[in-house]
Structure 1
Amino acid sequence: MNATLPTAEALRAALAALLDGLPPTQAQQAVDRLIASYRGTTPTDAPILRNRSDVAAYAAYRMPATFEAVRACLAALREAAPDWTPATHTDIGGGTGAASWAVAGAWDGPRTTVLDWSEPALALGRELAEVSGSPALRSATWERARIGAALEPTDLATVSYVLKELTPADRAALVEAVAGAAQTVVIVEPGTPDGYDRVIEARDRLIAAGLSVAAPCPHDDTCPIERGTDWCHFSARVSRSSLHRQVKGGSLSHEDEKFSYVVATRFPVAPAHERVTRRPQIRKGQVLLELCTRDEGLRRATVTKRHGTLYRAARDAAWGDAWPPL
Structure 2
Amino acid sequence: MTMLPDELRTALDSALARFAPHDLSRATEQLTERYRTGPSAAAPHLRTPADIAAYAAYRMPATYAAAGTAMRMAAAMTPGFAPRTQLDVGGGTGAAVWAAAPVWPSLERVTVVEHDPQIIELGRRLARTAPVRDVTWRRASIDPGLDRPAADLVTMSYALNELPAQRHAGVVRWLAADATMVIVIEPGTPAGYANIVTARETLTGCGLTVVAPCPHDGPCPIRPGRDWCHFSVRLPRTTLHRRVKSGTLGFEDEKFSYVAAVRGEWPRAAARVLRHPQKRKGLVSLRLCTAEEGVRDVVVSKRQGELYRLARDVDWGDDWPAAE
TM-score (ref. length: structure 2): 0.93
CA distance in 2, matches of 1:200, 1:80: 20
Residues 1:115 and 2:113 aligned together: yes
Q: Cα gap change, 1:46/1:15 in structure 2, threshold over 3 Å: closer, same or farther?
A: closer
Taking the TM superposition and a 5 Å limit, the aligned residue runs for 1:164-313 are 164-313=161-310
2:122 is aligned to: 124
1:8/1:67 contact within 8 Å kept: no
Q: Cα gap change, 1:170/1:37 in structure 2, threshold over 3 Å: closer, same or farther?
A: farther
Counterpart amino acid of 1:146? S
CA distance in 2, matches of 1:169, 1:98: 27
Taking the TM superposition and a 5 Å limit, the aligned residue runs for 1:79-158 are 79-110=76-107, 111-132=109-130, 134=131, 136=132, 138-148=133-143, 149-158=146-155
Q: Number of aligned pairs?
A: 317
1:3 is aligned to: none
CA distance in 1, matches of 2:116, 2:189: 26
Task: State the shift of 1:13 in Å.
Answer: 2.4
Task: State the shift of 1:106 in Å.
Answer: 1.1
Counterpart amino acid of 2:116? S
CA distance in 1, matches of 2:101, 2:246: 30
Task: State the shift of 1:313 in Å.
Answer: 1.3
2:22 is aligned to: 25
1:323 is aligned to: 320
2:10 is aligned to: 13
* CA displacement 1:172-228 (0-9 Å, x = unmatched): 221111022422110000100001001101111111111110100000000000111
CA distance in 2, matches of 1:106, 1:173: 28
Alignment equivalent of 1:57, drawn from 54, 59, 65: 54
Paired-residue identity, %: 47
2:21/2:244 contact within 8 Å kept: yes
CA distance in 2, matches of 1:21, 1:280: 43
Q: Any stretches of 5+ residues in structure 2 without a counterpart?
A: none
Residue 258 of structure 1 aligns to a residue whose secondary structure is: strand
RMSD after superposition = 1.8
Q: Any stretches of 5+ residues in structure 1 without a counterpart?
A: 1-5
Q: Cα gap change, 1:323/1:15 in structure 2, threshold over 3 Å: closer, same or farther?
A: same
TM-score (ref. length: structure 1): 0.93
